[in-house]
């Protein structure tokens, strides 16, 4: 009796709270681990359903409910600003005090962005919580080609209004100098850029363009021409790729020209895009916070703040330990290019111009204008192999012709400001301030936790892991000939043996007849007009008799 009473008290709510108090763990825990822990600690055997409900109660015990998250969001944003002075936060609610938009830009991020390239990559990812929503992120790239989160926010969906509001708050985080924004081909982002940031130069992600091309036109064998045109550094190379593409696939070439080469082509882009051709750095942020997409809003923002705090601390320490004038990524690229530059022939034209020859290729380098005919020097703001050969011939140090954003000083200054955790007590709490959750928009079916991946993503992951992420249908094969496409009768045996064919035909037809009789038998039983007692008596007689199935069927239908 004590065991039964003890089991009654072990409710999912009590087990979830007890598990958190005993272990202090909740992230990455699955229901099976809770069942194993409770069996080891207390000798309780829990079902999967009980363990799953206990895990949900444990998550609520640690993070609170989604409704509590929206109610505590104003207080959380104030505590975050108190701990990090200079942090920019905005919260917008509708007339009914329901949550609509939220924006956060940490003071450390806005202070460090001034030492980066003037390129911002924006993207959005869907949240998987009870009320859904979309997380918008704006990122840059530091001197070591690492992701630098500038700002992030939560909105209801990716619309013209939400992106316009996000860009309006984002422009307060940087000075209005020439700026480049890279994104996918979403019309909402394009309209927001035109209406809110008309002075920026916009570019689209080549990866999304490539996916649209493959989905619409196929032609995987021609993707090297598409990529060659997008990544070409000179106009001659771009024209050569496009001419080959027009000859092989005119419709695809017309589609690319209709997409405006100024948005996706490196040689036609009017601004300084450096080496950023895709929106992968923003996609990396979305992947890093994947496990927190279902958290309440304050817990999600806290997760991002903790992640950025770890990144800033580690990268600040790495920058301090550098013994080179540039970051590790830049030093690696320069070392490879210097190796190839040693085999080039350099002929001096005047004080600042050089003629560099490498095999059949000949390029003119102008150090005063900062130009090379290959086009790499102008795009990346980093010496190419021809410039390095000219600098070695002239005895000039490479630092005089490398952008300052790649230096060790800029890398350290980018992460010089620490990120502090939010205050425990809200000193400016307002009783009248309310934030209610938005109206739920749940559709039919189970909520999706991950998006459907394209074939390009699957092929790249399968090359790394050796397997595909999508579940392939099972292929059945014959037990006789071991060939797929059929089970029995096997065509190879039927062609060689007419007796086997006749026997298989009879067995198959007999099986069909018995199936029909079985259906008629049970169908007639359901339509039998006798009383329940008569039905049971009839079935009892049939079960104790030695009649065949055909005789039973005829007897029952006669009744």
Q: What is the DSSP string of 331-394?
A: HHHHHHHHHHHTTSEEEE-SSSEEEEEETTEEEEEETTTTEETTSHHHHHSS--HHHHHHHHHH
The span from the CA of 130 to the CA of 66, in Å, is 7
pLDDT at 531 over 80: no
- The whole-number pLDDT of residue 473 equals 64
Please report where in the chains the tokens 């089970």 appear, as a residue.
487
**Would you place residue 526 in the very low, low, confident or very high pLDDT band (cuts 50, 70, 90)?**
very low
pLDDT at 2 over 50: no
Q: Among 19-28, 201-210, 294-303, 359-368, where is mean pLDDT lowest?
A: 19-28
CB contact at 8 A, 89 and 81 = yes
pLDDT tens column, 125-142? 999 888 889 999 999 999
Whole-number Cα distances in Å, 379 to 157, 325, 375, 503 = 35, 21, 7, 77
- The whole-number pLDDT of residue 320 equals 93
The span from the CA of 192 to the CA of 159, in Å, is 9
- The whole-number pLDDT of residue 171 equals 92
- With CA atoms as reference, report the closest residue to 263 among 219, 295, 309, 230: 230
CB contact at 8 A, 170 and 189 = no
Exposed, middle or buried, 21 (CB in 10 Å: 0-12/13-18/19+)? exposed
Instruction: Determine the topology of domain 64-205+278-319+427-439 in CATH.
Output: Nucleotidyltransferase; domain 5 (3.30.420)
Whole-number Cα distances in Å, 41 to 22, 34, 37, 63 = 10, 10, 6, 25
pLDDT at 436 over 80: yes
The span from the CA of 514 to the CA of 510, in Å, is 6
pLDDT tens column, 7-50? 556 788 888 887 777 666 666 778 888 888 888 888 888 889 88
β-strand partners of 125: 135
The span from the CA of 123 to the CA of 59, in Å, is 28
**Would you place residue 475 in the very low, low, confident or very high pLDDT band (cuts 50, 70, 90)?**
confident
Mean pLDDT computed over 38-66: 85
Helix (H) or strand (E) holding 183: strand 180-183
Contacts of 491 (CB under 8 A, 6+ apart): none
3-state SS assignment for residue 327: coil
- The whole-number pLDDT of residue 508 equals 46
Among 27-31, 107-111, 505-509, 551-555, name the most confident range: 107-111
CA angle 475-465-144, nearest 5°? 150
CB contact at 8 A, 402 and 412 = no
pLDDT tens column, 238-272? 999 999 999 998 999 999 999 899 999 999 999 89
Among 40-44, 88-92, 460-464, name the most confident range: 88-92
**Would you place residue 548 in the very low, low, confident or very high pLDDT band (cuts 50, 70, 90)?**
low
The span from the CA of 107 to the CA of 305, in Å, is 12
The span from the CA of 67 to the CA of 58, in Å, is 16
CB contact at 8 A, 242 and 212 = no
Structure tokens at 67: 């409704």
CB contact at 8 A, 264 and 372 = no
- The whole-number pLDDT of residue 25 equals 61
Ramachandran region, residue 485 (left: φ > 0; alpha: ψ -120 to 50; beta: rest): left
SS3 of 100-141: the string is EEEEEECHHHHHHHHHCCCEEEEEEEECCCCCCCEEEEEEEE
Q: What is the DSSP letter of 430?
A: -
- The 10 Å CB-count burial string (b at 16+, else e) for 37-50 is bbeeeeebebeeeb
Percent of all residues in the chain with a pLDDT value above 90, rounded to a whole number = 46
- With CA atoms as reference, report the closest residue to 356 among 381, 386, 379, 318: 386
β-strand partners of 280: none
Q: Would you tell me how many other CB atoms lie within 10 Å of the CB of residue 460?
A: 12
Mean pLDDT computed over 46-65: 86
Please report where in the chains the tokens 């050969």 appear, as a residue.
389
**Would you place residue 459 in the very low, low, confident or very high pLDDT band (cuts 50, 70, 90)?**
low
Please report where in the chains the tokens 């080496």 appear, as a residue.
275
The domain limits of the chain are 2-63, 64-205+278-319+427-439, 206-231+242-269, 328-406, 491-558
């Amino acid at each position: 009796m004590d065991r039964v009473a003890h089991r009654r008290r072990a409710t999912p709510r009590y087990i979830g709270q007890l598990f958190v108090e005993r272990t202090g763990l909740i992230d990455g825990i699955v229901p099976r681990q809770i069942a194993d822990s409770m069996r080891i600690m207390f000798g309780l055997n829990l079902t999967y359903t009980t363990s799953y409900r206990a895990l949900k109660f444990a998550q609520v015990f640690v993070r609170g409910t989604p409704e509590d998250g929206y109610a505590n969001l104003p207080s959380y944003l104030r505590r975050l600003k108190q701990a990090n002075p200079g942090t920019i936060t905005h919260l917008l609610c509708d007339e009914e005090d329901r949550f609509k938009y939220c924006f956060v830009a940490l003071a450390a991020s806005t202070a460090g962005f001034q030492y980066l390239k003037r390129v911002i990559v924006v993207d959005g990812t869907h949240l998987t919580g009870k009320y859904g929503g979309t997380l918008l992120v704006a990122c840059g790239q530091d001197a070591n080609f690492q992701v630098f989160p500038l700002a992030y926010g939560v909105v209801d969906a990716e619309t013209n209004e939400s992106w316009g509001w996000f860009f309006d708050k984002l422009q307060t985080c940087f000075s209005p100098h020439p700026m480049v924004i890279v994104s996918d081909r979403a019309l909402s982002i394009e309209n927001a850029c035109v209406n809110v940031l008309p002075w920026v130069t916009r570019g689209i992600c080549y990866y999304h363009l490539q996916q649209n091309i493959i989905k619409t036109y196929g032609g995987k064998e021609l993707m090297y021409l598409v990529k060659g045109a997008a990544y070409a550094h000179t106009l001659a190379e771009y024209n050569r790729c496009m001419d080959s593409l027009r000859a092989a696939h005119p419709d695809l070439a017309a589609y690319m020209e209709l997409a405006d080469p100024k948005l996706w082509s490196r040689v036609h882009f009017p601004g300084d895009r450096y080496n950023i051709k895709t929106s992968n750095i923003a996609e990396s942020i979305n992947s890093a916070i994947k496990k927190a997409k279902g958290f309440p809003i304050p817990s999600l923002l806290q997760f991002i703040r903790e992640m950025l705090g770890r990144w800033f601390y580690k990268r600040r320490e790495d920058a301090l330990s550098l013994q080179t004038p540039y970051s590790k990524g830049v030093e690696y690229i320069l070392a490879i290019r210097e190796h190839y530059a040693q085999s080039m022939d350099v002929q001096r034209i005047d004080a600042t111009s050089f003629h560099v020859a490498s095999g059949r290729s000949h390029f003119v380098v102008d150090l005063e204008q900062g130009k090379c005919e290959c086009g790499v020097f102008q795009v990346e703001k980093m010496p190419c192999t021809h410039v390095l050969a000219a600098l070695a011939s002239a005895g000039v140090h490479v630092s005089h012709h490398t952008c300052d954003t790649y230096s060790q000083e800029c890398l350290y200054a980018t992460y010089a400001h620490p990120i502090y955790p939010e205050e425990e007590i809200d000193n400016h709490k307002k009783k009248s301030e309310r934030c209610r959750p938005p109206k739920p928009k749940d559709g039919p079916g189970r909520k999706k936790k991950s998006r459907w991946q394209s074939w390009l993503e699957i092929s790249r992951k399968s090359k790394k892991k050796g397997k595909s992420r999508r579940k392939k249908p099972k292929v059945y094969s014959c037990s006789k000939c071991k060939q797929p496409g059929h089970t029995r009768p096997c065509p190879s045996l039927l062609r060689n043996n007419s007796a086997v064919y006749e026997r298989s035909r009879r067995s198959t037809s007999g099986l069909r007849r018995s199936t029909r009789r079985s259906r008629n038998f049970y169908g007639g039983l359901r339509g039998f007009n006798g009383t329940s007692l008569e039905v049971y008596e009839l079935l009892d007689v049939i079960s104790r008799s030695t009649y065949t199935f055909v005789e039973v069927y005829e007897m029952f239908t006669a009744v």
